Amino acid sequence: MALWARPAARCCCWLQRARLAALQRLRSSSEAVQARQGAAPLALLASRRGFLPWGWQAYRHVAVENCSQAASAQDGSSSSPESSLLPVKQEQAKPETVPDLNTEILCEDWDDVPPSSALEEISEEEAVQILADPPLPLQSSTLRDYVDHSETLTKLVQLGVDLSQVEKRQKAGQLLLTLDFEKDIKKILLFLKDVGVEDSQLGLFLTKNPYILGEDLEALETRVAYLKSKKFGNAEIAQMVSRAPYLLLFSVERLDNRLGFFKNELGLSVKKTKDLVIRLPRLLTGKLEPVKENLQVCQIEFGFQRNEIQQIAYKTPKILTASRKRLRQTFDYLHNIMGIPHHMLTRFPQVFNAKLLRIKERHKFLIFLGRAQYDPAKPSYISLDQLVSLPDEVFCTEIAKASIQDFEKFLKTI
Amino acid sequence: MPSPPPRKQAAGRSGWHGPERLGTARYSSVQLGTARHGMASIPAGLFAVYKPPGVSWCRVRDAVRARLLRELNEAPEPPPRQRIRFLPAAPGAGGEPGLVPTWVPVLAEHPLVRGPRFTQLKVGAGDRLDVKASGVFVLGVGHGNKLLTDRYHCHLTKVYTVGGLFGKVTEDFSDTGKLVEKATFDHITREKLERILAVIQGTNHKALLLHSNIDMKTQEAYELAVNGLIRPMGKSPPIITAIRCLQFALPEFQLEIYCVHETQQYLRKIVHEIGLELKSCAVCTQVRRIRDGVFTLDDALLRTQWNLQSIRNAISDCQLKVREELEKTLGHQDKSVPKMAHNNVAAR
């Protein structure tokens, strides 16, 4: 280890000598072995300088990689809000907001003009430029202080963006304040319109995902191009983007990975996978870990077959993102208490989306009336779909054949 | 001026309202409790909901609160306040350069900027029900929370129907717990059960007199008894004031229990002990509160009725009953205090 600490100049000499030795070694391995055995110090050196440059290189490589990672992290701060960022206080960037505000003009004027005496007369134009308003606060925890003075924020409010929601998001407030409507925001809005997000949805879209405003337009276009290359139609892309606003913040590789994940994990065909993510694009932008866990829960705890899981996931993709606790409770009640077999659950997977309390209430009411009969082979069969999806009035009159008042009275006895 | 002033008040204060002002003007529920013209006001009072079994009382309370807040925020808002700003004249207008007073809406008070008007609402819970129990559950909203404290000091009687099942013992005395033991129950008859119930009522009656801290040989005790107000007015163990059998069909039975200071687990334990006394064993299948003070099943709102209008109606329907009940109990209790005050006045 002492060798490492020696000055670099010495290293250079060794390097030269080492090169010779290395050449020798290359010539024949047996010779090299001899050399090592014969002249131990030389061999040691040879191995060292064989090792040393590599070590340096590796170190440099790692360092460069670190830098690039750091750089990409900085870039990514606006692109991927999920990535964990250093908690920078919102206030810090607030001073940058000044550019699009009126006070800025004032400050510039003062800078240009040499300090004049208070008694000096000023022209009408100059007088107009001076604003008597108190200056804006340099830091604030809310956008309310700036909205009356910022063109960008005013336009966004008129567009329907809920600033009270946006300001709660990390760094989103700073981002909006540093942007200029004409220069930065307009092009993104036009792009979103081109993609197919409806005008009335734009405000909601930006409320959910303000970070897209800081995104590079070309990157967005490549992502849309990627989706198009995967044979998604224009209307489908529009639907996916407006339902899952974060979709366009995902890089092409990530999108590709995620599409692949659903295809492999569920074992669906390409067309069905596409159909699945079009119906629930949230799957692509959400975390994948819960999806995996839910699939495990379905397979191991509930005992569904693999093809049954495929069917269930294809019919009701929502089940993949549902909370496991709720799924467990619902399945437990349906299977163990109501006695519904697996194949019926596969046929009507939408029962898993229903509220457990609702299933319980209706099941108990039907039992009380003696109508709880969920076997299609027998008469007066009640399908699970009818059980959960109908509103209370229709359920009472058509399924339970009772009045809504009776149902309400019954509910007060359980 | 391009547009007429919408409100006189705004015309008086021209120009910029400091950011501190906007920052501190947080919309607390108290501030908005007063009904302004055309705006939703927070209901205040007591009402009862029907708590379904399997849901904790916190979730019921939170659900009611969330629905109330949502409806209060959905109510129409007054038009945004306007203020005068001196803006530079448009260069194309041809007028002389200068500042022109202009009416502009205050964007800082726009609903999209300010956020929802109501962010918190005080919803308090009366006597609680545990997760497995169901029934009448009293909630207070707004100023009604004060009445909840008064109700607590009244130590009101609650009525439960309790379902039981002979022949089983579980760890937590309810039918969903882990099964510990089984027993036969064919020898039990309704008479035997009622005999046990009478014993329970008798022992509890003694406890009631003991904990009510009243000398039975006084006029005061007589008056209280006439009004039906003999009950412990401080801390006491759970006391059953009346118990009777509603249904008896082996192995199931159903009891009606009037009690004070109970917990639902205590009632389950009573069922278990009844089983043991009958030389068998029993678990509790259902604990359902059918009355809490003056709130009965008919007053309780079902899950589908937890909305602003129904709650307002329920509050106004029960207002009178609640006040009467509180006056009847607390008024009697405080009788000695006003007497003293009168004496003082007379002395002066």
Query: Given this model, what pLDDT does residue A141 score?
Result: 82
What would the pLDDT profile of A268-287 be if each residue is shown by its tens digit? 888 999 999 899 999 889 89
Query: Given this model, what pLDDT does residue B21 score?
Result: 38
Give CA–CA dist A202/A209, Å, rounded: 10
Q: Answer for the pair B144, B314: CB distance below 8 angstroms, yes or no.
A: no
DSSP strand pairing (B82-88 vs B99-105): antiparallel
Indicate the average pLDDT of chain B: 82
What would the pLDDT profile of A121-171 be if each residue is shown by its tens digit? 777 777 766 666 677 788 888 888 888 888 888 888 988 899 898 888 888
Reported as a pLDDT band with limits 50, 70 and 90, residue B254 is very high
Give CA–CA dist B185/B168, Å, rounded: 9
Q: Answer for the pair A206, A212: CB distance below 8 angstroms, yes or no.
A: yes
| B23 contacts A128? CB cut-off 8 A | no
* Nearest Cα to Cα of residue B262 among B181, B213, B207, B322: B207
Tokens of B3: 């547009």
* Nearest Cα to Cα of residue A153 among B103, A162, A202, A88: A162
What are φ and ψ of residue B245, in 5° steps?
Answer: -95, 125
For residue B46, count CB atoms less than 10 angstroms from its CB and return exposed for 0-12, middle for 13-18, buried for 19 or more: buried
Give CA–CA dist B149/B124, Å, rounded: 10
Element (H, E) at B163: strand B158-166
Contacts of A147 in chain B (CB under 8 A): 107-108, 110, 113
Reported as a pLDDT band with limits 50, 70 and 90, residue B79 is confident
Q: Answer for the pair B177, B170: CB distance below 8 angstroms, yes or no.
A: yes
Tokens of A85: 């960022």
What would the pLDDT profile of A290-345 be if each residue is shown by its tens digit? 999 999 999 999 999 989 999 999 999 999 999 999 999 999 999 999 999 999 99
* Nearest Cα to Cα of residue A244 among A274, A215, A209, A216: A209
Query: Given this model, what pLDDT does residue A17 score?
Result: 53
| Backbone CA torsion sign across A84, A85, A90, A91 | positive
Reported as a pLDDT band with limits 50, 70 and 90, residue B58 is very high
Query: Which of A124, A132, A145 is facing B22, going by the closest CB pair?
Result: A145
Give CA–CA dist B101/B14, Å, rounded: 10
ipTM given for this complex? 0.79
Percent helix, percent strand, percent coil in chain A, to nearest 5: 75, 0, 25
Query: Which of A137, A157, A408 is facing B113, going by the closest CB pair?
Result: A157
Residue range B266-273: mean pLDDT, rounded: 94
Reported as a pLDDT band with limits 50, 70 and 90, residue A76 is very low
Cα-based angle B340, B342, B345 (whole degrees, multiple of 5): 115
Cα-based angle B219, B224, B225 (whole degrees, multiple of 5): 95
Closest-approach residue (CA) in chain A for B19: A145
Beta bridge partners of B295: B292
Residue range B155-165: mean pLDDT, rounded: 94
Contacts of A128 in chain B (CB under 8 A): 88, 97-99
Q: Answer for the pair A177, A153: CB distance below 8 angstroms, yes or no.
A: yes
Q: Which stretches of chain B are DSSP H helices? A: 8-12, 19-24, 29-33, 57-74, 111-114, 144-154, 190-211, 219-227, 264-277, 308-333, 336-347
Reported as a pLDDT band with limits 50, 70 and 90, residue B88 is confident
B→A contacts (Cβ < 8 Å), by residue, are 15-16, 18-19, 22-23, 50, 52-55, 86, 88, 96-99, 104, 106-108, 110, 112-116, 134, 288, 297, 300, 302-304
Residue range B234-240: mean pLDDT, rounded: 91
Give CA–CA dist A249/A220, Å, rounded: 7
Which contacts of A65-69 are long-range, i.e. CB under 8 A and separated by 24 or more positions?
Answer: none
Give CA–CA dist B135/B112, Å, rounded: 40
Reported as a pLDDT band with limits 50, 70 and 90, residue B99 is confident
